[in-house]
Amino acid sequence: MKKAKAKKWPEAWKEVNPGCMVFIPGNASTYKTGTWRAQRPILDEKKCIKCGICYVFCPEGCISQNEEGFFKADLDYCKGCGICAHECWPGAISMLEEEE
């Protein structure tokens, strides 16, 4: 199996992998989509009932449960779509403008 090594980007035509195969597995995680965000989710822990609905609905899959049991979005990847806030039925999540 080919050893994947980091190449400069953008590549010259001879450097492109055959078939444009990507040999570095899981490298989607190096692409931080958090920079796309215009709003971020803020969790009111007093209202959170730790049901996990936000985790289920997050299209990015960036919400995970922390040690205390609260579900928090990973801000490296959260795109601020607001679906978690929309689905959170206790209303524990609100969306805050990034600018603030």
Partner 1 sequence: MGKRVGMEVAIAAAEAVALCNIDVAAVYPITPQSHMAEHLADIVHDGRIDAEFITVESEHSSISACAGASAAGARVYTATSSQGLMLMHEILPIVSAMRLPVVMGNANRAISGPLNIWNDHTDIMPQRDSGWICMFSENGQEVVDMSIQSFKIAEHPDVMLPVVLNIDGFQLTHMIEPLEMPSQKEVNRFLPPRKPFAALHPDNPLSMGCFNMPDIFTETMKAKDTALWNSKSTIIKIWDEWGKQFGRYYKPVETYKADGAETLILTMGSMGETASIAVDELRKAGASVGLVKLRLWRPFPVEELRAATAGAKTLIVMDRAISFGGAGGPVATEIKSFFFHDRGRPRIVNFIMGLGGRDVAVDDFMAMVERADKIKDETYEFYGVRES
Summarize as ranges the residues that interact with partner 1 (CB under 8 A).
1-2, 10-16, 18-23, 25-26
Closer by beta carbon to partner 1, 6 or else 12: 12
Smallest distance from partner 1 to CB 26, Å? 7
Smallest distance from partner 1 to CB 31, Å? 12
Smallest distance from partner 1 to CB 48, Å? 35
DSSP state for residue 39 in the 8-state scheme = E
Closer by beta carbon to partner 1, 31 or else 89: 31
Closer by beta carbon to partner 1, 33 or else 94: 33
Alpha-carbon 27 to chain mean position: 13
**H/E element holding 96?**
strand 93-97
Distance of alpha carbon 100 from alpha carbon 91, whole angstroms: 21
Closest CA to 78 of 51, 25, 23, 39: 39
